[in-house]
Structure 1
Amino acid sequence: MQKGLAAGLAIIAAGFASPALSHPHIFAEARVEIVSGDDGSFKELRHVWRFDDVFSASVLMDYDKNSDLKLDPAELKEIADTIRESLADYSYFTFVTKDGADAAIAKPDVFNVDYRENQLLIFFVAKPKAPLTIGGKMTFGVYDPTLYTAIDFANDSDLVVEGASFAACSHKVVRPDPDQILAQNQANLTEAFFNDPAGNDMGKLFATRMEITC
Structure 2
Amino acid sequence: MPAPGEAGKMRDRMVLKRGAWRVRAWGLGCAAAICLVSQGAVAHPHVFVTARQAVVFGPDGKVTGVQAAWTFDDMYSAFAIQGLGDPAKVLTRQDLAPLAKTNVDSLAEFGWFTVAKTGGKSQPFAYPVDYWLDESADKLITLHFTLPLKVPIATGPFFNLQVYDPTYFVAFEFADKDPVTLVGAPPGCSVTVSKPKPLDNTDNQKLSEAFFSNMSPGMDFGIKLASRAIVACP
Q: What's the offset of the Cα at 1:211?
A: 1.2
Identity of aligned residues (%): 31
Mapped to 1, the partners of 2:14 and 2:61 lie a distance apart of 44
Matched, 1:55 2:76: yes
1:126 equivalent in structure 2:
147
Aligned residues: 206
How far the C-alpha of 1:36 sits from its partner, in A, is 1.3
2:197–2:225 Cα contact (<8 Å) kept? yes
Q: Distance in 2 between matches of 1:112 and 1:198?
A: 31
TM-score under structure 1 length normalisation: 0.80
Rounded Cα–Cα distance in structure 1 between residues aligned with 2:71 and 2:93: 18
Q: Name structure 1 gaps, 5 residues minimum.
A: none
Query: 2:220 and 2:43 mapped to 1: Cα distance?
Result: 12
Report the secondary structure of 2:76's partner residue.
Answer: helix
Equivalence for 2:6: none
Letter in 2 for 1:8: R
Please tell me whether the aligned partners of residues 113 and 122 of structure 1 are also in contact (alpha carbons under 8 angstroms): yes
Give the aligned residue type for 1:195: N
Consecutive unaligned residues in structure 2, runs of 5 or more:
1-9, 34-41
Out of 187, 200, 208, the position equivalent to 2:219 is 200
Deviations 1:144-194 (A, max 9, x none): 2231111112315221123333x34453111011315x769x9xxxx8875
Taking the TM superposition and a 5 Å limit, the aligned residue runs for 1:166-205 are: 167-180=187-200, 195-196=214-215, 199-205=218-224
1:147 alignment partner, SS class: coil
- Give the match for residue 56 of structure 2: 35
Shift in alpha-carbon separation, 1:205–1:132, aligned structure 2, 3 A: farther
- State how far apart, in whole Å, the 2-side matches of 1:22 and 1:133 are: 40
User: Is 1:107 aligned with 2:127?
Assistant: yes
1:96 is matched with which residue: 116, 120, 126? Answer: 116
Q: Give 1:33 deviation, angstroms.
A: 1.1
1:150 to 171, 174, 196: 171
Q: Relative to structure 1, is the Cα distance of residues 197 and 144 closer, same or farther in structure 2, using a 3 angstrom cutoff?
A: farther
Aligned residue in 1 for 2:22: 8
Distance 1:160 1:173 in 2: 10
Q: Larger relative contact order (C-alpha < 8 A, sep ≥ 6)?
A: 1
Q: 1:120: how far off?
A: 1.1
